[in-house]
Structure 1
């Protein structure tokens, strides 16, 4: 049996060394749905990482999947220069984010190749995460196909699977498909954007499955993403699910960066949100969310 490790762009890492983690963010990203708002500047990415590190951050889990401007060749140098561990992703987003999709019949092979051999270019860093996406209150054929490929890649490699939920919806359907029909262990599944659907009953049902619940993208200017965030986290922790919770910044457009935009950017998790969590939930639960839970959620017994 292998020892669990977090697969970073600089190699496999002992989970205990991951440190304070932004569990969902982006240094580089481009989308057909967001023309002119690309994250594509390495200097700006370096500045954002430096600000995150100065605030006490030690790791960033990137959810930018295949075909969305990952600029993977830049990542090893950025990690070394900043002293921040970086995890890159393979996977596929909703079809609307792409001008051209890859061959859907060979998706699992693509995911496995990037997980085991790396992304082409530069130092060919390997990825440590599979990112897929559901739809609004349901799963269309594209989502089911990509999740099936993600499950095949998980079974071949052990990689964790992170899921975008449109406005926080369709998470029960995702769990039923991934963890039920496709037999992915819930502990290898991270359910994203649940702060956008602040329904405590559903959250507790999801946490009870053993999946990780990611609350990400706080303080968005264009919609409410954290108006009940602390209440949801407190309810889950109070119900005994404190070990299933993750937090991320999910910076997806240039204007949302702290270093060269309007913010709040990556540092806000630690400068703005973490003090509120300490007051509301206590130091022990806050440490679980930022350090211990990510160390378990993004580690895998790699095959």
Structure 2
């Protein structure tokens, strides 16, 4: 059997993942976003159906442990809509949790991550971690060490929230240099928020996947610098490292609330990519690359 992607309804051949939103949220809750929770299954289902109507076939939800990820609801939505959904384990930055949630040693955290990835009727398919602003604090290092253990036990990819897009090389130095996670099993998120092409090229040269997410998000260089970044990577031979996602984190950002939402990726961004960089580039970004980035190797 070849590589598989672990969805909330079970493993599927990676080749069947299809057109993928590589970083988004159907459910999300945090004290940092009071009153903006994503907790409505009907609204989440509407977003998935709107995405599917435009040709979308898969969504990777990066919501980790303790932030309202609702795995059973994800499975119900995947079954009802026919969209493949990949769930996450892991932990976000410490500010998203009560103190008692964080008081676990590295081995215990790794055990919890592995359990999420391997046990139960609804299993996670990746480990989500988070860096800090232009560096890594003690919590980030602690969680990334546990995530590396979980990766080595399961083969799961490690997806990284980069705070405002910064700290990519610090993350790779730790995960890949010290903790021996292969760069091709690391997905760096939010790079669009820090549009330093030198950093993007270095991370791609290391072999990591680069996720550009949150199109049309205000106050970030998401749209007007996006094509500069994608073109530079493609011209340097790194088109095979690029992923795109919506990163919808509030109810107001959903398409049903007149935000860009998941459909924007296929309604506006994909046609623009085809016009600017060609059909094969868009096919790689939306289909081929996610299938590789989130796959589990199998003999």
The answer, yes or no, to whether TM exceeds 0.5 is yes
In structure 1, the partner of 2:13 is: 14
Tell me the distance in 2 between the aligned counterparts of 1:11 and 1:302: 15
Once residues 148 and 103 of structure 2 are traced to their aligned partners in structure 1, the CA distance between those partners, rounded to angstroms, is 17
Report the RMSD for the aligned CA atoms in angstroms.
1.2
Q: CA deviation at 1:272?
A: 1.1
Runs of 4+ in 1 over 6 A off after TM superposition: none
Q: Which residue of 2 aligns with 1:144?
A: 141
5+ residue gaps, structure 1: 119-123
How big is the shift at 1:3? 3.2
TM-score by length of 2: 0.97
How is 1:184-263 mapped onto 2 (pairs within 5 angstroms)?
184-259=181-256, 261-263=257-259
How far is the alpha carbon of 1:99 from its aligned partner?
Answer: 2.6
**Preserved contact between residue 159 and residue 302 of structure 1 (Cα < 8 Å):** no
1:1-303 equivalences under 5 Å are 3-100=2-99, 101-105=101-105, 106-118=108-120, 124-259=121-256, 261-301=257-297
The CA deviation string for residues 45-91 of structure 1, in whole angstroms up to 9 with x for no partner, is 00000000001100000000000001111111100111100000000
* Cα deviation 1:23-44 (Å, max 9, x = unaligned): 0000000011001100000000
Query: How far does residue 226 in structure 1 lie from its aligned partner after superposition?
Result: 2.1
CA contact (8 A) 1:75 1:86 kept: yes
Number of residue equivalences: 296
Q: What secondary structure sits across from 1:104 in the alignment? A: coil
Q: After superposition, what is the alpha-carbon deviation per residue over 1:159-178, rounded to whole angstroms, capped at 9, x for unaligned?
A: 00000001100000000000
User: Cα offset for 1:202?
Assistant: 1.1
> Structure 1-normalised TM-score?
0.95
C-alpha displacement at 1:233, in angstroms?
A: 0.2
Equivalent residue of 1:174, what SS?
helix
Distance in 2, matches of 1:56 and 1:4, equals 23
SS at match of 1:44: helix
Contiguous gaps of at least 5 residues in structure 2: none
Q: Distance in 2 between matches of 1:237 and 1:289?
A: 11
